[in-house]
């Protein structure tokens, strides 16, 4: 449903069962589960969906092997199961990811690990091969009989260097295990929300709609796009604002200290040598300071991260020069003869993990688990969703939904457990992909290369996308297949675009990949603006706004 119709419906009938504040992954997952169980639910976000913490992840669907050191076995078991479900339910966006751990010692950390497990040690000695081997055996055991991904393998020095010739020659062992790669978390987040609207009887989502205040039993929402206030009467409020949870509760009249988040930053580099050296593998290793870091294949680029720093205000989360230097330097640990320079950075991103507030000696000791905190505002229950991570979003949403259904005296009708999402619906199996692509080529008269790119980006939604403009020929903006007019038209018409940066940063990944410049942004804005109905002045304002966002949030000068 489009924005105008949603606003009109809310004005005509302001009563809703549940109001969700926050359109990141925790809010989105809960929204979908409530929607398919016929709950009357409204989701709002002060910005675009997935424009906060959920847009700053490491792009991994992972079980959290390092959480084993903290004794968080329940969390790891849940996350491994949910990782497997994400690969099955969102196959267009979540792919099995071979992950390599290079090791430079054998015995190191063996005696220290139990002390860290008992919280008697801030940081163990460097984790050697034996400790990692034990951890991977545990990790594989959580997958159970459903072997969605292969079991881990161990390699000695000779085979390791044969596999990865550019790797540091001091390596003694390597291990390969599998997690999941999320190609575009921001896009997947939006698909989850759109599926909730499509599958629910009374489920609506508004981006650029801010929670303002409580007036009796009514909640005042500011429609930023329509420049108007809306009054909603919910039975229950879900605070899914991530690191801003305490701020939202304060505005609700509740004093809480639920969040003690830490900042995580990343850079994306265009370095063909490094990209070739890692292949399709993530490299996950311990830096010299004990911090677990990663090199991650991201299309033709490499993501390098991440930091784990205390921060007071989540609005102040930016990737600093010091972090950039740290990221560039950490590559030397594993690929010492591949130089990385600041000029190769095409994008930077930083966000705050919504971790539960704890008095811990180090940020690494703060739990990554999730919980539900309940408060009251008058007769309205407020459920704050504390913690959580991309991988376990579905399980967390299910737990929240179970509690909401109990409060509303409603029975669960169905579950998201095996529900395919967005472009993952009717996704072809491995042996069926080639004929599927050939069918797209024949029916829509497009190049095979274009079909492959669109299928990689959108999965089976490509069929609807190519039907835009009554099956007119796919029109490219340039010969690099940056984006097609069909993509722009489909996204603008169907995916709640309000601003130009929604399209460049969250419905597509072209902004992340360093593919944008002033010229093609102007082209994209012109096509989108024609469909939306932007005036010449509005198109210019959108271009200027986008340029400012790239510079301020991502240190990218277009």
- The CATH code of the domain that includes 149 is 3.30.9.10
Give the CATH number of the domain where residue 23 resides: 3.50.50.60
Cβ neighbours of residue 538 closer than 8 Å, sequence gap 6 or more: 529
Q: Are 356 and 259 in contact (CB under 8 A)?
A: yes
Q: Which of 460, 441, 457 is nearest to 449 (CA)?
A: 441
Residue 436: count other Cβ atoms within 10 Å of its Cβ: 17
437 and 451 housed in the same domain: yes
Side-chain-facing half-sphere of 239: CA atoms under 13 Å:
30
374 and 442 housed in the same domain: no
198 and 322 housed in the same domain: no
326 and 315 housed in the same domain: yes
- Residue at 226 is within a domain: yes
DSSP string, 326-356: HHHHHHHHH-TTS---GGGEEEEEEEEE-PB
Last residue of a domain, one of 356, 381, 407: 407
- Residue at 202 is within a domain: yes
- Residue at 65 is within a domain: no
Burial class, 147, CB count within 10 angstroms (exposed 0-12 / middle 13-18 / buried 19+): exposed
Q: Which two tokens stand for residue 253?
A: 């009249």
171 and 310 housed in the same domain: yes
219 and 357 housed in the same domain: no
297 and 440 housed in the same domain: no
The whole-number pLDDT of residue 128 equals 78
Provide long-range contacts, Cβ within 8 A and 24+ apart, for 427-431: 427/91, 427/92, 427/459, 427/460, 428/460
For residue 81, the SS3 value is: helix
The whole-number pLDDT of residue 115 equals 40
512 and 469 housed in the same domain: yes
Please report, in tens digits, the pLDDT of each residue of the chain (558 residues total): 899 999 999 999 999 999 999 999 999 999 999 999 999 999 999 999 999 999 999 999 998 887 777 778 888 889 999 999 999 999 999 999 999 999 998 766 544 544 444 444 455 556 778 888 988 998 888 876 667 889 999 999 999 999 999 999 999 999 999 999 999 999 999 999 999 999 999 999 999 999 999 999 999 999 999 999 999 999 999 999 999 999 999 999 999 999 998 999 999 999 999 999 999 999 999 998 888 899 999 999 999 999 999 998 999 999 999 999 999 999 999 999 999 999 999 999 999 999 998 665 555 556 678 899 999 999 999 999 999 999 999 999 999 999 999 999 999 999 999 999 999 999 999 999 999 999 999 988 888 988 999 999 999 999 999 887 555 566 767 656 688 888 999 999 999 999 999 999 999 999 999 999 999 999 999 999 999 999 999 999 999 999 999 999 999 998
Give the CATH number of the domain where residue 511 resides: 1.10.8
9 and 48 housed in the same domain: yes
Dist. CA 33–CA 19, nearest whole Å: 14
Number of structural domains found in the chain: 3
281 and 136 housed in the same domain: yes
Dist. CA 15–CA 232, nearest whole Å: 6
- Residue at 418 is within a domain: no
CA–centroid distance for 189 within its chain: 7
**Cut 0.85: pTM above it:** yes
443 and 496 housed in the same domain: yes
Mapped to the 3 state alphabet, what secondary structure does 460-514 carry? Answer: HHHHHHHCHHHHCCCCECCCCCCCEHHHHHHHHHHCCCCCHHHHHHHHCCCCCCC
Between vectors from CA 268 to CA 264 and to CA 270, what angle results, nearest 5°? 165
The whole-number pLDDT of residue 362 equals 53
Domain limits for position 469: 425-554
- Residue at 201 is within a domain: yes
- Residue at 74 is within a domain: no
Q: Which two tokens stand for residue 316?
A: 């102040």
Token pair 């390597």 is at which residue?
A: 174
- Residue at 524 is within a domain: yes
- Residue at 75 is within a domain: no
300 and 324 housed in the same domain: yes
């Amino acid at each position: 449903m489009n924005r105008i119709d949603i606003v009109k419906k809310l004005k005509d009938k302001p009563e809703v069962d549940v109001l969700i504040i926050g359109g990141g992954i925790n809010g989105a997952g809960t929204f979908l589960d409530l929607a398919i169980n016929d709950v009357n639910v409204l989701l709002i976000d002060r910005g675009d969906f997935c424009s906060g913490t959920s847009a700053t992840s490491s792009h991994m669907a992972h079980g959290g092997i390092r959480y084993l050191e903290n004794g968080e076995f329940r969390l790891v078991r849940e996350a491994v199961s949910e990782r497997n479900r994400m690969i099955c339910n969102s196959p267009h966006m979540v792919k099995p990811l071979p992950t390599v751990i290079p090791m430079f010692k054998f015995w190191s950390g063996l005696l220290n690990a139990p002390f860290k497990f008992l919280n008697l040690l801030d940081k163990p000695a460097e984790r050697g091969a034996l400790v990692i081997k034990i951890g991977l055996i545990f990790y594989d055991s959580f997958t159970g009989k459903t072997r969605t991904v292969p079991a881990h393998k161990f390699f000695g020095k000779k085979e390791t260097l044969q596999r990865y010739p550019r790797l540091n020659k001091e390596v003694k062992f390597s291990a390969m295990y599998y997690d999941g790669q999320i190609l575009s978390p921001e896009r997947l987040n939006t698909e989850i929300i759109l599926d909730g609207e499509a599958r629910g009887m009374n489920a609506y989502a508004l981006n650029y709609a801010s929670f303002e205040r409580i007036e009796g039993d009514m909640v005042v929402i500011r429609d930023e796009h329509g420049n108007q206030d809306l009054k909603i009467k919910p039975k229950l409020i879900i605070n899914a604002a991530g690191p801003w949870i305490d701020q939202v509760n304060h505005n609700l009249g509740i004093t809480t200290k639920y969040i003690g988040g830490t900042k995580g930053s990343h850079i994306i580099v265009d370095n063909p040598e490094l990209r070739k050296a890692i292949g399709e593998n993530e490299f996950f290793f311990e830096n010299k300071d004990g911090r677990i870091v990663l090199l991650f294949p991201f299309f033709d680029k490499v993501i390098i991260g991440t930091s784990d720093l205390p921060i007071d205000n989540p609005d102040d989360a930016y990737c600093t020069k010091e972090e950039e230097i740290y990221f560039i330097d950490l590559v030397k640990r594993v690929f010492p003869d591949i130089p990385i320079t600041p000029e190769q950075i095409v994008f930077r991103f930083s966000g705050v993990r919504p971790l539960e507030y704890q008095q811990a000696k180090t940020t690494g000791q703060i739990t990554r688990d999730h919980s539900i905190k309940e408060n009251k505002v008058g007769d309205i229950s407020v459920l704050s969703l504390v913690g959580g991570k991309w991988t376990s979003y579905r399980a967390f949403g299910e737990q929240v939904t179970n509690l909401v259904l109990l409060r509303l005296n409603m029975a669960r009708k169905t579950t998201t457990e095996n529900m395919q999402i967005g472009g993952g619906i009717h996704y072809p199996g491995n042996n069926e992909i080639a004929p599927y692509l050939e069918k797209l080529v024949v029916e829509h008269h497009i190049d095979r290369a274009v079909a492959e790119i669109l299928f990689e980006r959108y999965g089976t939604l490509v069929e609807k996308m190519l039907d835009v403009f009554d099956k007119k020929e796919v029109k490219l903006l340039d010969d690099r297949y940056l984006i097609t007019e069909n993509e722009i038209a489909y996204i603008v018409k169907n995916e709640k675009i309000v601003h130009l940066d929604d399209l460049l940063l969250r419905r597509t990944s072209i902004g992340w990949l360093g593919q944008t410049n002033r010229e093609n942004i102007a082209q994209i804005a012109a096509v989108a603006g024609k469909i939306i109905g932007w005036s010449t002045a509005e198109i210019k304002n959108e271009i200027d706004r986008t340029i400012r966002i790239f510079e301020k949030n991502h240190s990218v000068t277009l």
